[in-house]
Structure 1
Amino acid sequence: MFEHLQDEILKTIVLLIIFLIIRSILKISIKKIGQKSSINDARIGLISRYSTFTLILIFLLFVSYIFGATLENLTLLFSSVFAVIGIGLFAIWSILSNITSGIIMFFSFPYKVGDKIKIHDKDSPLEGIIEDIRAFQLHLRLDNGDLVTYPNNLILQKAVTLVQKDAIEDFGDFH
C-alpha cells in the first residue's frame, strides 16, 4: 500500500528524529539560560513553547519538500498564508509587539522577579517590585499595594532603573 512512499517515509522518520534531538537540545539550552539569568519557570516554559512551535513549522516545511512539493509551490503557499496572517495580525500588532518584547526580555532584560524598579515615564512614572514577567506584560506591585500590569513593548521603550535596597536606605537618611 505504501511501497511507493517507502523512501519518503524513511526520510521523514530520520527528519523527525533529528528535529526531536534539536528540540531537546534547544529546551535544555533555554532552561539553562533561564536559570542562569534567574528567570522564572513560567517564562522559560513560554519561550520553550515558542521555539517548539517554530520547529514544528520548519519540520512541516521539510516534510512537504520530502513528499514532492516544489520550492515554487511551497513559496506560493507560505507567501499566501503569511499574507493572510499578516493582514489579520496587522489589526492586533500590539499583541505581536508584546510577544516579541517578551521574547527579547527573556534573553536580555536585566531585571528579574523580586527586583524593585523605577520606570521613567514622563506621563506616569512607576516604582515597584516585579511580581511576574509574562508573555504580554510585566506585573509590578507598587508600594501602596496596587498591582500594575505594564505592557512588555512599553517597558523596552522606557528607561528603567533598578532601585537598590541600600540606596533606598541611604536616601532615607538624608531626609
Structure 2
Amino acid sequence: MFFKNLQSEILASAILLLVFIVIRLLLKISIKKIGRKSGINDARIGLISRYTTFTLFLVFLLILAYIFGAELENLTVIFSSVFAVLGVGLFAVWSILSNITSGIIMFFSFPYKVGDKIKIHDKDAPIEAIIEDIRAFQLLLRQDDGDLVTYPNNLILQKAVTLVKKDAIEHFGDMH
C-alpha cells in the first residue's frame, strides 16, 4: 500500500537517479579530458571532479525533495537558511575557501605546469622556483637551494608571474 501511493514519486526518483549518474559520468569524462589536455595532474583532476559531484548531489537532493512533495517556497527557505548559516561559518575560513576557489580557477586557466620554473614578483618576498606540485590550496615550489616553499593559490593569482624555464624539473632531478 505504501509503495502504491508513492509509485509515481519512486519512478521519478529512479529516473532522476539515472540522470544524475549519466550527468556525473559525463562531467567526470569532460573534466578528465580538459585536465589531461591542459597537462594537469590526476590529483587536481580528481579534486575538481569531487567538487562538481558534490554540487550535482546538492541539486539532486533539491529536486528529490521537490518530487516527494516539498513546496518550492519551503525548499528555498530551508536552503537559504542552510546557506546563510554555512556562509557565516565559512566566512571564518574565508582564506581556505579563497584558496579552493583559486585552485578551481587555476585548473582551467593557469598557464604554468608542474616542472616549469617560475618567478613570482612579490615586492616583499620574491620567489624563483620550480613548480613541484599544484594542489587544492597551494603550489609546492622547489627553490634552487632545495628548499620547499608552499605558496597559497589565492596569492599566485594576485601576483605577476614570469616563466623562467620550461620543464626545469629535469634540472631539479640532477640536484638529487
Equivalent-residue separation in structure 2 for 1:147 and 1:9 (angstroms): 54
Equivalent-residue separation in structure 2 for 1:148 and 1:16 (angstroms): 44
> Please, what TM-score do these two structures have when normalized by structure 1?
0.93
**What residue is the counterpart of 1:39 in the other structure?**
40
**What residue is the counterpart of 2:108 in the other structure?**
107
Segments ≥4 residues shifted beyond 2 Å: none
Note the residue ranges of structure 1 that are not aligned, 5 or more in a row: 166-175
Aligned length: 165
Residue pairs, 1:108-147, within 5 angstroms: 108-147=109-148
Per-residue CA deviation, residues 35-79 of structure 1 (Å, 9 max, x unaligned), is 000000000000000000001000000000100111110010001
- Letter in structure 2 aligned against 1:80: S
Per-residue CA deviation, residues 116-175 of structure 1 (Å, 9 max, x unaligned), is 10000000000110011111000000000000000000000000111136xxxxxxxxxx
Equivalent-residue separation in structure 1 for 2:156 and 2:133 (angstroms): 13
**What residue is the counterpart of 2:67 in the other structure?**
66
Equivalent-residue separation in structure 2 for 1:158 and 1:95 (angstroms): 18
Q: Alignment partner of 1:131: what SS?
A: strand
Q: CA deviation at 1:2?
A: 1.5
Equivalent-residue separation in structure 1 for 2:90 and 2:22 (angstroms): 32
Per-residue CA deviation, residues 86-132 of structure 1 (Å, 9 max, x unaligned), is 11011110000000000000000001111110000000000110011
Root-mean-square deviation (CA), in Å?
0.7
Equivalent-residue separation in structure 2 for 1:43 and 1:61 (angstroms): 28
> Please, what TM-score do these two structures have when normalized by structure 2?
0.92
Equivalent-residue separation in structure 1 for 2:45 and 2:112 (angstroms): 15
**What residue is the counterpart of 1:18 in the other structure?**
19
**What residue is the counterpart of 1:81 in the other structure?**
82
Q: CA deviation at 1:3?
A: 1.1
Q: Alignment partner of 1:153: what SS?
A: helix
**What residue is the counterpart of 1:153 in the other structure?**
154
- Letter in structure 1 aligned against 2:15: V
- Letter in structure 2 aligned against 1:13: A
